[in-house]
Every structure is written in structure tokens, then in C-alpha cells.
Copies of this chain bind each other. A is one copy, B any other.
Amino acid sequence: MPQTLARHEDLLALSEEAQKLLFTEARSANTFTDEPVTDEQLRAIFELTKWAPTAANTQPLRVLYVAKGEARDRLVQHMLGNNAAKTAAAPAVAVLAADLGFHEHVPHVFPIRPELKDSFEADPERREAHARFNATLQAGYFLLGVRAAGLAAGPMAGYDGDGVDGEFFPDGRWKAILVVNIGHPGENAWFPRLPRLEYDQVVRHV
């Protein structure tokens, strides 16, 4: 008798509707409609994703939303190639950043070991590595959070990092790690979907 294999989708606790919204049918958008993104939606993304884990609960991700007009123009000049026009047109744009001063909050967010504040203070290199790693984990949560809000995200690594940092974070405490366009997908928002690596190329068992 032929064996009946379970579909991957059926092995998950997450509903198939949610799988589609966040992962299997979600796409990075290259164009957006004029429909605005509200401040309440941006806040709802934060209130959802803030619960996802970081090491020692340090939560070093920071988000700068850059409104259209003078502020957006200042950002666009640091975007590379095609990203400039995309960022100029997007209804909302977030600069995701790692806060190198995250450790000031340790006594509040990790009261189990408040002394971690001082050990991070004493070791700026370890502190920056911790900030960048955990803020990047949180950037992953953020991109899925945008989708959870029913919006499309257009993450972009193609920008002048020193330029963005100098423009918006001149005191050196926040460091940009990713720029994300946000909105409702517009005409021709997607390129054809690109191939994913196979399971055996990614996962090993030992």
C-alpha cells in the first residue's frame, strides 16, 4: 500500500492562514499603493514583536520612522541604486538600528543580574557585538511583525551605513542595521519568486 505522507503544513500548530500571511505567500514588496500606514499600525507591530526573545532580555533594537518630506529626503540620499526611488515612494520607512547603549536598561529588564550593566560598560567590543546580534534577531521578528499587520515589508541592506548613522544618529549610540519600506503592495510589487535551498543543503543531523 502506498504510504500517506503528512503535508509539512499539517505538522504545524500555526494555522495555514497564518503560515501564508507570515511566510509561504508573503513577499518583499518593491512598490506600494498610496494607502497610508497609520501610527497605530506601527505601534501594533511593536506591541506584538516586543515579546520575542533576546539574550538576557536586552532588547537592543531601535526603530526610527522617517516621514515623507525633509526627513525622508535626508534618508533617500544615502540609499544606493534603485533603493533610493523605492524609499522615496514608500508610505512608511523604518531605519532599524542597534542601540550600543542598551545596557543602561539592564537593571530594569534583567533584574536577575543587574551587574551585567557594568560588565557591558567595561567591554565596548563585546557590548557592540551583543547589540548587533540581538538587534538583528529582532529585525527578523520585526519583518514578520510587519506582515502580521497585513502590510508588506521591503527590507534593504543597500545604503551607506556611515551616511545614515551620521545623518540621524550623530551621537554614535544607534547604529543602522537595516532599512525597511512598509506599505500595501502596489502594481508589479513582486519579482518572480526566487528558489530556496533544499533541506539537505541547509540541515544536517549528527
Contact = CB atoms under 8 A, between A and B. Distances in A.
Interface of A: 6, 8-9, 11-15, 17-19, 21-24, 26, 28, 39-44, 46-53, 55, 57, 59, 61-67, 71, 105, 108-112, 133, 136-141, 143-144, 147-150, 153, 155, 157, 168, 177, 191, 194-197, 199, 201-206
B49 A23 contact: yes
Nearest to A64: B204
A51 B147 CA distance: 13
B141 A139 contact: no
A161 B112 CA distance: 24
Contact of A109 (B23, B109, B141, B197): B197
A148 B203 contact: no
B19 A48 contact: yes
Number of copies: 2
Contact of A44 (B8, B15, B149): B8
Contacts of A204: 62-65
Contacts of A39: 205
Contact of A202 (B61, B112, B197, B203): B61
A13 B21 contact: yes
A206 B11 CA distance: 44
Nearest to A135: B136
A74 B115 CA distance: 31
A148 B55 contact: no
Given A6-B40, A11-B149, A15-B17, A143 B53 contact: yes
Contacts of A147: 14
A43 B200 CA distance: 10
Residue from A6, A14, A23, A41 with most neighbouring chain B CB atoms (10 Å): A14
